[in-house]
Structures are given as structure tokens and as C-alpha cells.
Structure 1
Amino acid sequence: MKIAVIGAGYVGLVSSACLAEFGFDVFCVDHDAARVDDLNAGRIPIHEAGLDSLIHAHRQAGRLHFTRDLKSAVAQAEAIFIAVSTPTRRG
């Protein structure tokens, strides 16, 4: 099953790695080009025990992909997770 995860922050990145660990083909999408470039280069912007090795293993296996192409990721996904910041202010 192909899954798109929208947002490569803490929640989206950890969720993407875990979904890939369960065997899903995951496309993690973020609008921040620098973040996507860093992730594709193996630079993980957050610390979570074991996350680096999990991401590396699933990128090597071809199950985890990082992209800015929202349209393509959503078009091929059978399930979509939205993991973006939620404003905390009223109005």
C-alpha cells in the first residue's frame, strides 16, 4: 500500500519511518525545499532514538521517499496522513 504523509516535521517524519517499518511504501511531503534536500541527503533534523537508522534502512530499501511534489504523492497514495502544524491562536 502506498501512503502519503503531508509534513516532515517531528510527527510526520517519525510516522513516515514507522509506516515504512510496517512495510508500506511512504512518500513524505514537505513544502520546505531545504528540509527535503537534507532528508534526501541523510541529514535528520530531529533526534529520536533509532530514527536515523530506521530512515536510512527504509530509504535504502526503497520504501521511504522525501519529496516536495504534493500532487504526485497524493495521486498515487491509497491513504493520506496530514501532519502539519495547527495554529494555536484564535482568529
Structure 2
Amino acid sequence: MHISVIGTGYVGLVTGACFSEFGVNVTCMDTDAKRIARLEKGDVPFYEPGITELVAKGIRENRISFTTDIAKAVDKALVIFIAVGTPPKPDGSADLSYVEEVGRGIA
């Protein structure tokens, strides 16, 4: 099975790393090329207990990969998780523009 996770923040990267730990092949995608370059080296840009080890193991066992190319990320995916930010708008409602952008990229 192959899944894709769009967004490599706290939610997306942890989700992808945990699925890879259970033997699922995962492609994590983000538009931030510097973040992807760091992740490809196993350099996790935030602290979450155990995440660095999970990412390193996933890379070593070829179960997790990283890309900035949404088409490449979703090409073979059976399941796609969208884990991008939904910051608040001035009126307090969620700004879904990032989710909508991902939807257009997947379509």
C-alpha cells in the first residue's frame, strides 16, 4: 500500500512517519523546498518525542520519501491525507485556501 501526506508540519510528518513504521510506503509532500531537503537528510525541523528516529528508520528502510512535486506525491497513492494549515481569518473562521490549493493540485 502507498499513501501520500500533503504537508510536513506537526500533523503531516508525524502521520507519515507513523504509517511508515507500520510498513506502509509513504510519500510526504510540502511546497517548502528547504524543509523537504532537510527531511530527506533525516533532519526533522521540530521536536516531537521519537519522530526523528521514526523518520530516520523510514528513510533507511525506503518506506518514507519526500518531495515538493504534488503530482509525484499522489501518483501511486491509494490514500491521500491533507495536513496543511488552516489559520484563522480575521473573523475567526478557518482559512481553507491551502486545503483548496491542494485539492486543485490533486485534481
TM-score category (smaller protein)? over 0.9
Q: Structure 2 matches for 1:38-77, cutoff 5 A?
A: 38-77=38-77
- 4+ residue runs of structure 1 moved beyond 4 angstroms? none
Q: 1:78 Cα shift?
A: 0.5
Q: 1:87 Cα shift?
A: 2.6
Unaligned runs of 5+ residues in structure 1 are none
Counterpart-to-counterpart distance in 2, 1:49 and 1:57 = 14
Per the alignment, residue 88 of structure 1 pairs with: 88
RMSD (Å) for aligned C-alpha atoms: 1.1
Percent of matched pairs sharing the same residue:
46
Q: TM-score when scaled to structure 1? A: 0.95
Deviations 1:42-71 (A, max 9, x none): 211011111111110111000000111110
* Greater Rg over alpha carbons, structure: 2
Query: Which has the bigger relative contact order, CA under 8 A and spacing at least 6?
Result: 1
Unaligned runs of 5+ residues in structure 2 are 96-107
Counterpart-to-counterpart distance in 1, 2:18 and 2:42 = 17
Q: How many residues align?
A: 91
